[in-house]
Each structure stands twice: as C-alpha cells, then as structure tokens.
Chains A and B, each alone.
Chain A
Amino acid sequence: DAGVIQSPRHEVTEMGQEVTLRCKPISGHNSLFWYRQTMMRGLELLIYFNNNVPIDDSGMPEDRFSAKMPNASFSTLKIQPSEPRDSAVYFCASSTRQGEGSPLHFGNGTRLTVT
C-alpha cells in the first residue's frame, strides 16, 4: 500500500496565480479530507468528501478555494487567485467508513509558498 499520495511536494508561486494541489487516496478508502496546517492556526479541516461527494465545505476559507473529487482515486484542491496568506502546508487524508471512527491516513503534504 503506497499510502496517500500528494503532489507536488513543494509549490512556489506568485500572488494571483492559480494553484492546483493533487491527491490520490488509499485504494478502498471512501472518505477524503483536505486540511491546511499553519503555525498560527494549527490543522484546519477545509473540506470532506464521502464517496466522492462533498459533504462539508464549511472550512473552505473563501470562494478562491475549490475542491473536486471526480472519482474515488483522485481529488484536487484549487486556489485561484492565490494570495500570500494562503502559504501553508496542505494535507490530504483518507479513511474507511469514517462513521465507525476509522483512523485517518495522511499524505506527506504540499508546502505552498505564495510570494
């Protein structure tokens, strides 16, 4: 099992550019989460998908952020336009049957720097 795979590992972009982060969850996991981690705020849940359907996007900070999950093996988080305050580490995580309290498996994250 390769675990949750995220790409790219690092992204440096200029303010105003579009950024797309990618995630491949563990095969067979039907719950997928996008988190953002900063020193100030710690880990924050951005959006949660279950069976490819967005269930809760209340953590998405602004309309500049959007997430999709076109199939069970792929998800994207897009920021358009990006701003310096979006600089953070973005994690994707997946689990099975979250309703039964399954542990969360995290990817290694994408470190985003917006200049």
Chain B
Amino acid sequence: KQEVTQIPAALSVPEGENLVLNCSFTDSAIYNLQWFRQDPGKGLTSLLLIQSSQREQTSGRLNASLDKSSGRSTLYIAASQPGDSATYLCAVSGGSNYKLTFGKGTLLTVNP
C-alpha cells in the first residue's frame, strides 16, 4: 500500500527566503506526482504535475523535482512571499493511475 509522507508538517519563514518542501513515497511504481496548494476553507489547486518519466517541472517561482528510485520529490519555492502561505500537499498516482494517494501536507507561513 502506497504511503506518502511530507516533512516538515509546518514551516515558518521570513519573506524573501528560498525554501524546500519534501515529499517521500514508499512505492516507486508511480504514474505521476502532483503538488497542490490548499488555502483555508478552499479546495486544492494543482501547482505542478510530474510524469514518472520526467525529473522536474517548473512554473514561475516553483520548481518540483522527482526521484522515483529514491521515492522522493521536492518543491522549491524561490523568493517566498506572504501570499505563498498555505498548506502544500503532494500526491502520487499508482498503477491504476487515477487513484491519487495524498500526503498530509506542509503548512507554510511566510512572515512579512
């Protein structure tokens, strides 16, 4: 059974700092990995999707990497802003590629 772990559970940084969020998964036979953002009282917003054949994806200040063999992904946020404050979740899809297994998320607070 796939398990997804995100460390740390919470992170507080000053504005402008570069930061890395970590995600690990136990079964490397994944189809893709997605990073989501969740604001309080809202649904999840897809940030980046990495196919299993890819190593990384970039969108603006965000860069996500994937190392299938070690079961790890990182989300790098450059020059953090208070508006980046949210919970960030990673999710992996397995052999039946529709079924996403989610981590419990990292609560990020960027202080002005």
Contacts and interface: CB of A to CB of B under 8 A. Distances in A.
Interface string B13-57: 000000000000000000110101000011111100101000000
Interface string A8-38: 0000000000000000000000010100000
Interface residues of B, number: 24
B93 interface: yes
A45 B96 CA distance: 13
A31 B43 contact: no
B101 to A, nearest CB: 8
Interface string A38-80: 0000110100101000011000000000000000000000000
11 contacts: A42-B104, A43-B89, A48-B98, A91-B44, A101-B31, A101-B93, A102-B49, A103-B49, A104-B44, A104-B100, A108-B43
Interface of B: 31-32, 34, 36, 41-46, 49, 51, 89, 91, 93, 96-100, 102-105
Given A43-B89, A104-B46, A109-B42, 7 more contacts: A42-B102, A55-B98, A98-B98, A101-B49, A104-B44, A108-B42, A108-B43
Interface of A: 4, 31, 33, 42-43, 45, 48, 50, 55-56, 91, 93, 98-99, 101-109
